[in-house]
Amino acid sequence: MALTLWFIFGLMTAAALFAVLWPLGRYPRAAPGGSDLMVYKDQLQEIDRDRAAGLIGEAEAEAARLEVSRRLLAAADAQPPNTGESPTAAVAPQRRRRAAIAALVILPFGPTGLYMALGSPDVPAQSAFARVKKSQGQESIATLVSQVEEHLVSNPADGAGWELIAPVYMRLGRFGDAVEARRKALTLNGASAVREADLGEALAAAANGIVTTEAKLAFERALAHDAREAKARYFLGLAEEQDGKNDQAASTWRALLADAPADAPWAAFVREALARVSGTPAREAGPSAGDVAAAASMSDEERREMVRGMVARLADRLHDNGADVEGWLRLVRAYVVLGDRDKAKGAAAEAKRALVDRPDELKRVNELVKALDLEG
């Protein structure tokens, strides 16, 4: 392999030398005037040959001769007088020889000398894949972060810059820097539910996943801006779990799932957390809004087989643990979607009996009954 590479390099060097030395080895071109005279004389002879061969007529030959003769006279008038060879022309061959010798020495040995002086011949070579991977991966991210950081040093009041770099710090595991960036983005850009929740997330990450008091306050501020902010609701449930309040955590996460869009990407993650604190397998946590909506497009038999099984498991669990208001709300909605309004009324009545000592949760059940027109 090495021999082949050196052979290729040799051919490339030879080609470069040929390209340089070829023009140096050529004789000076004739003056334009002399060259034109020879061309026009040849054309006159060619006209005579064509006339003799009968290829053209006499009139055409005479006209061609006149035109070529006119050009021949004009070229003769333009030719400079022959005053002898100039001193510059006499020394030109010597200069060309010197240039050729210099090229023979510099082209092969110049680059090698420069590489030995400036390069790193002792450093092991990297594969092309390694170089590309480095340039397009870690190096590019590091370069981007460095550029943004340099910009923020000169422009510390650039709120958009702090907002841009904060999630990058989170991905890189630089949680302390992420907290600082989140704080500055919040201060410069104004408070919002998303920015407060992002700050709380960074604070929890910096504390190795513990929802600290400061993080909890950030999440509570987020909910003050938007009571449906999903990230804040999840982390507050996590704080309750970390405080040993599994029932409250389960209630928080059930409420979050009840409000979740059918295609929420984080719903499965929250269901796993709910299963962790409730001791119920995630698949038995009850049908989600997406589950029921999907079942509506199935045949009656398929729907009964899938959805009623989930609803039955949810109902069984609620009989054992009637304090789960979110479970009761989900059970009532599921019966209505399935068209079984009598069972929906029965579930609502049972929920009221189970929650009779909890006025706030009982109020939510009554509001749902009224909204679904299940009264009477």
- Measured CA to CA, the distance from residue 89 to residue 33 in angstroms comes to 18
Domain final position from 45, 73, 101: 73
Report yes or no on 239 lying in a domain.
no
**Lookup: tokens for 242:** 């970390």
Report yes or no on 82 lying in a domain.
no
How high is the pLDDT of residue 201?
94
The DSSP secondary-structure symbol of 284 reads G
CATH number, domain with residue 350: 1.25.40
Report yes or no on 53 lying in a domain.
yes
Q: Which residues of the chain are modeled with pLDDT < 50? A: 2-3, 30-33, 83-90, 123-138, 283-285, 289, 295-296
Report yes or no on 61 lying in a domain.
yes
- Measured CA to CA, the distance from residue 113 to residue 116 in angstroms comes to 5
Domain final position from 42, 73, 104: 73
- Measured CA to CA, the distance from residue 319 to residue 317 in angstroms comes to 5
- Measured CA to CA, the distance from residue 361 to residue 352 in angstroms comes to 9
Report yes or no on 342 lying in a domain.
yes
Which residue's entry shows tokens 């002399």?
Answer: 34
Report yes or no on 234 lying in a domain.
no
Which residue's entry shows tokens 């119920």?
Answer: 280
- 143-177 pLDDT tens trace: 878 888 899 999 999 999 899 899 989 888 899 99
How high is the pLDDT of residue 92?
54
- Measured CA to CA, the distance from residue 316 to residue 284 in angstroms comes to 10
Q: Which residue type, as a one-letter code, is found at position 122?
A: D
How high is the pLDDT of residue 121?
52
How high is the pLDDT of residue 336?
78
**By three-state DSSP, how is residue 27 classified?**
coil
Report yes or no on 119 lying in a domain.
no
Label residues 10-45 b or e (16+ Cβ within 10 Å = b). Answer: eeeeeeeeeebbeeeeeeeeeeeeeebbeebeebee
- Comparing CA positions, the residue from 99, 115, 112, 98 lying closest to residue 13 is 112
Report yes or no on 336 lying in a domain.
yes
Number of independent structural domains in the chain: 2
Domain final position from 73, 101, 127: 73
Mean pLDDT of the residues in the chain: 74
Domain range for residue 323? 287-376
